[in-house]
Structure 1
C-alpha cells in the first residue's frame, strides 16, 4: 500500500531473520528494502553484517521507534540484537548483505 508517497508493507510479510551462523540478504530487483523481525531466541546474539558501498542496515527496538544501530550514522557493522526488534536492509537493487550470527 502507498500512503503519501510512502510504500507500506503488512507485518504478515515480515519474516524472522535466519538464526544460522551465516546467511545472505539481497535487496529486491525493484529496490524495496528487506525487513525482518528478531525472534526472542535471537535476543542478545551479535549480528555482523558485511554490506555493499551503496547499502545500509538498521536495527530497531521492540517498539520500532528507536534505531539501536543505523549503519550509515554509526559506521558500525556489529550489533547486539534486541528481543522483539526489527531489522531492515536497504540499498540499490540487487545489493547483497552477508550476515554472521554469534
Structure 2
C-alpha cells in the first residue's frame, strides 16, 4: 500500500465511525496494520491533522478519550450535538468507543 493509499484508507475508516461514537488513533492503525504494513497511532494522528478536515475528525480521540489537541472545544460541541457520552475532559470511552 502506498503512502497515499494509506491516507485514503485512514480517512475512509474515519467516515465509517457512527455519529455519537468515537474511535482511537490506535484502533485505526490496528485495523489497517495487516493490509498496510503500518501500525502507528502517531501516523494516523498526523494524517488526521493534515488531511482530516473533510471527514468527521471529531470522532477520533486518543485511547483515554481525550479530544483532538487544539480543537477540544469544537470537537466537544460536535460530539455533544451527536449525543456522544462525554465526561469532564473528553469522551466516556466505555460508553462511546467504536472499533473498526
- Do both proteins adopt the same fold according to a TM-score greater than 0.5, normalized to the shorter chain? no
Q: How high is the TM-score relative to the length of structure 1?
A: 0.31
Q: TM-score, normalised by structure 2?
A: 0.31
Larger helix proportion of the pair = 2
Report 1 or 2 for greater relative contact order, CA contacts < 8 Å, sequence distance ≥ 6: 1
Decide which structure has greater strand share. Answer: 1
